[in-house]
Amino acid sequence: MNNKERIILAQIQIDNLLTLTQDLKYQGFLSSHLLPVKYELQRQYQLLTNTKEETKIKKENNRL
């Protein structure tokens, strides 16, 4: 399993936790801790995908 797959699975788990905790008494408290993790995972996923695309573009530009 590569890092991209791990991040996708972690994002799914966070979404599941947010759904499961919707009706709990301290849902706001839990969300305030889970949402930063969700956004950090999105950021890391974006970094992985952008890095690969930028590398591909740079390689193509060097061939020209």
Residue 57 has pLDDT above 60, yes or no: no
Burial label for 7, CB within 10 Å (0-12, 13-18, 19+), is buried
Number of domains, the chain: 1
Q: Which domain, by its residues, includes 50?
A: 3-63
The model carries a pTM of 0.74
pLDDT at 43: 94
Per-residue pLDDT of 2-36, as tens digits, reads 999 999 999 999 999 999 999 999 999 999 999 99
- Residue partners of 41: CB distance under 8 A and separation at least 6: 7, 10, 11, 14
